[in-house]
Amino acid sequence: MQIFHRSANVISRASIYAGIFTAAAVLWACIQLQRSPYVTYAAVVRPQPAPFSHQHHVAALGIDCRYCHTSVETSGFAGIPPTKTCMNCHSQIWTGAALLEPVRESFRTGKSLVWNRVNDLPDFVYFDHSIHINKGVGCNTCHGPVDRMPLMFNYASLQMEWCIECHRAPEKNLRPREQVFNMRYQQPTADLPVVDEGKAYTDQLALGKHLVQKYHLRTVMDITSCNTCHR
């Protein structure tokens, strides 16, 4: 005796397929959410105690990154400038500007400004600025065109897949050390070669492979090892 109608077979198959497709759609949505600015804050401006403009200070005034980020070449942490660094200039210019009152108050009271970190990695990730700088990774490779940012924001997702892509093929991004802080640096082309050690390079991969040897980068297996970043 047949208990269920034959149409139950169609319904059961449709239910199974619907369940699979629904699970796949939910998984896809979760992956997209994890990579979205809602989670990564990529291209999202963070509020700050004073509206510091990298565009104004770097592009318009020509201030070198190391004037404020003093430890970037020798330390894992790039360094956040103390208020007295700001006041080297602003004790003489824009002395009455309302938007700089938090800076002046900090200088008067000795209480540090609490800046919101824009490029903020999780605590379980080890990142050393100095090693990247000294191996020829430019500031704007990771931080983006900060000289064109009126207010600072994450240029990239900073997720592991983004980091590992560079670690697997570092030659695609390396530049001579003297160009690391050059915000307008361009990778070599036939029309605009890059000269290093007396040789002109017209192709980034050729230059990158040369710099990998020159700066003694470890093997790809070493720099993609888990304990390189997770210690």
98 inside domain: no
Q: 24 and 122 share a domain? A: no
- Same structural domain, 75 and 178: yes
Task: Tell me, yes or no, whether 159 lies in a domain.
Answer: yes
Query: Is there a single domain that holds both residue 12 and residue 43?
Result: no
DSSP state of 94: S
Q: Indicate whether 11 belongs to any domain.
A: yes
Query: Per the domain annotation, does 110 fall within a domain?
Result: no
Report yes or no on 30 lying in a domain: yes
Do the domain assignments include residue 66?
Answer: yes
* 152-161: average pLDDT: 92
Are 19 and 72 found together in one domain?
A: no
Predicted local confidence at residue 223, as pLDDT: 86
Amino acid letter for position 171: E
Contact 94, 85 (CB under 8 A): no
CA dihedral 162, 180, 42, 122 (to 10 degrees): 70
State the total domains in the chain: 2
Residue 85 lies in a domain: no
Q: Which of 4-8, 88-92, 126-130 has the lowest mean pLDDT?
A: 4-8
Together in a domain, 14 and 75: no
Closest CA to 141 of 81, 211, 221: 211
Task: Mark whether 26 and 66 lie in a shared domain.
Answer: no
Nearest CA to 222 among 209, 214, 212?
212
Taking residues 167-174, what's their average pLDDT? 94
Q: Answer whether residue 186 is part of any domain.
A: yes
Rounded to 10 degrees, the C-alpha dihedral 189/186/134/173 comes to: -70
Residues 6+ apart with CB under 8 A from 24: none
pLDDT for position 102:
96
Please count the other Cβ atoms lying within 10 Å of the Cβ belonging to residue 23: 10
**Same-domain check for residues 160 and 222:** yes
SS3 15: helix
Gyration radius (Cα) of the chain, Å: 25
Mark whether 49 and 152 lie in a shared domain.
yes
Predicted confidence at residue 13, as pLDDT, reads 83
For the cut 80, the answer to whether the pLDDT of residue 117 exceeds it is yes
Q: Are residues 136 and 196 in the same domain?
A: yes
Instruction: Give the DSSP H or E segment for 37.
Output: helix 37-40
pLDDT digit string (tens) for 61-83? 999 999 999 999 999 999 899 99
Give the percent of the chain with pLDDT over 90. Answer: 77
Domain span at 28: 7-35
Q: What is the pTM of this model?
A: 0.83
When pLDDT is cut at 50, 70 and 90, the band that residue 2 belongs to is low
Same domain, 131 and 148: yes
Q: Are residues 31 and 137 in the same domain?
A: no
130 shares its domain with 171: yes
